[in-house]
């Protein structure tokens, strides 16, 4: 699996308060923001703030190849297409969500 960027997704109960803290108090640059989702620079990665539980996301260079490789290893990948891109959802043995993004 060829990963080109790793993101940390922080799911929070009060998006606006958390966004204000990370951008204004900690000084992280906001890449983009929306009603319930914001993306901030986080070193060579990004920090995404959303209104959901915690997720690990891997941005991959070749989405189809990564999905195929994982399926060959016996991993179930639920591919979901959105207007902003495609993700592959994986659930680890303890129920944690992992996503691949195109």
Chain position carrying tokens 């108090």:
25
Query: What domains, with CATH codes, occur in the chain?
Result: 3-101 (3.10.180.10)
Convert the pLDDT of each residue in 17-69 to its tens digit. 999 999 999 999 999 998 889 999 998 899 999 887 678 899 999 999 999 99
Concatenate the DSSP letters of all residues of 17-80 into one string: HHHHIIIIIS-PPEEEE-SSEEEEEETTEEEEEESSS-EEEEEES-HHHHHHHHHHTT---EEE
Quick check: pTM over 0.85? no
């Amino acid at each position: 699996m060829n990963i080109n960027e790793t993101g940390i997704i922080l799911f929070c109960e009060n998006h606006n308060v958390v966004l204000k803290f990370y951008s204004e108090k900690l000084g992280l640059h906001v890449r983009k923001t929306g009603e319930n989702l914001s993306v901030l620079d986080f070193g060579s990665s990004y920090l995404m703030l959303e209104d959901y539980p915690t997720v690990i996301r891997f941005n991959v260079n070749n989405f189809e190849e990564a999905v195929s490789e994982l399926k060959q290893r016996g991993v179930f990948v639920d591919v979901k297409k959105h207007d902003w891109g495609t993700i592959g959802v994986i659930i680890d043995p303890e129920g944690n969500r992992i996503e691949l993004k195109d």
